[in-house]
Structure 1
Amino acid sequence: IWGAENLELSFKTWMCGGTLEIVPCSHVGHIFRKHSPHFPYNGMTGVNVLKRNSVRLAEVWMDEYKIYYYDRIGHDLGNFGDVTLRKNLRKNLHCKSFKWYLDNIFPELFIPGDAVTSGAIGNDWSGLCIDSACCKSTDWRKPVGLYPCHKQGGNQFWMISKQGEIRRDEPCLDFTGGEIILYPCHGRKGDQYFEFDYKNKRIKIGVRNQCLAISKDKKRLTVNECNANDATQNWEIQSLEDKRVATHR
């Protein structure tokens, strides 16, 4: 059934002894039907087939790294069925670990485990969270949005790196004096360095005496002089622990 098969083919091929080659002259077409023939799934209404298959993929192939995908979907796995036969097949084929895949096939991938913490970044005063699509380069270099906090991960899932970045895999929040935008992470801190004051619920931007805030009309992210009495600058970071909020320069 359609959903995540492209990832499974890659994982299974590489981890079980095969290779994938890029042939420059080859062309692949993917034609979508107007209506999916797989809904409802086995007569079950309300089942997200893509999500269900993605969870099955994670359970079978991603080992301990599956937790990072589950973080993104708020650990709402749903009923993904029995994957015992698929796990046994992987075992019988003597397939390698997902760590091997990351180390040898995709070493440039940012691993969320390298982050200080992760979760939604919500503003107490407004009930809004930092929210932005990020997975396509067309989502970058655009102002980062706000949306009511929904506790479902997705576009509200952010990682705080050891370098003080607020990132979503490849892009980071970036401030050069205008709007807060998503921009490819460069690792040089500067306009992508954010300092977290957990005690006072402030997010300070770089070495400036400026803090992340929400506009009074609650429509956009903005930057103002840090003010302990300004409720628009009050932020909560889901799952942030005291021991993890040391300043990283």
Structure 2
Amino acid sequence: MPHSASVPVTTVTDKGTDRTTSKNGLYLSHAATTSQLFAAPPLTPLTLAGYGERTKSRLLSPQLAEEIRHLVPLRLQLYDTWSLCYSLEQHGVSLTTLYSLSVPPRTTSRPGYVLIVEDKLGGIFGAYLNENPRPTKNGRYYGNGECFLWKSRIINKTPNAAFPYTGINDYMILCEPGFLSVGGGDGKYGLYLDDRFERGISNSCPAFGNEPLSECGIKFDIVGIEVWRISSA
């Protein structure tokens, strides 16, 4: 599955985080606050570890992974192996399983997570999470300004897009036993997945100022889901 990129390399650092927002592949949909310009360090190619030999549905291509890599925090860009925590095909339909498999090893320090979704039209999109997805008590949001939403455009020829934190609210990640969501505000979810992994919602939300991520529109049928961990272990 091709993921094209056609915009020039430009990298900036957001105030309050150590995330590099890169226009090398993923196009930033709105201007990020910048404190300095710098050249990205040379990085060794990524290795994607965890797909089974018989796994047919592989949502994350090496090219798309490299594009997302330039948007995650600098401390995580240096890691050259991403580990598959959960795959809908490999681990079955269970949000509980996704949560349990995403718990980081005790030896891991400050990992990051890439959530990937495929809709029935072949659209690929998702989110970067600075903490592992997990249920919280009393409907409490968590996460920080390193989080962002993204989409890979495969139907038209426009660049892939990333939607960084806007600073309007702190509604980053909200997970419960019945759903997983990223981004919120004004009663809208940037990305919402039900616990049966059948239906999802992606609407424009104040937290990320995003457009709907799915090729199907605001509501979509889920075909595939993956969660990848970026860490030292």
Using structure 1 for the length normalisation, give the TM-score: 0.27
Name the structure, 1 or 2, with higher relative contact order (CA <8 Å, separation 6+): 2
User: Relative to total residues, which structure has the larger strand share, 1 or 2?
Assistant: 2
Task: Compare CA radii of gyration and give the structure with the larger one.
Answer: 1
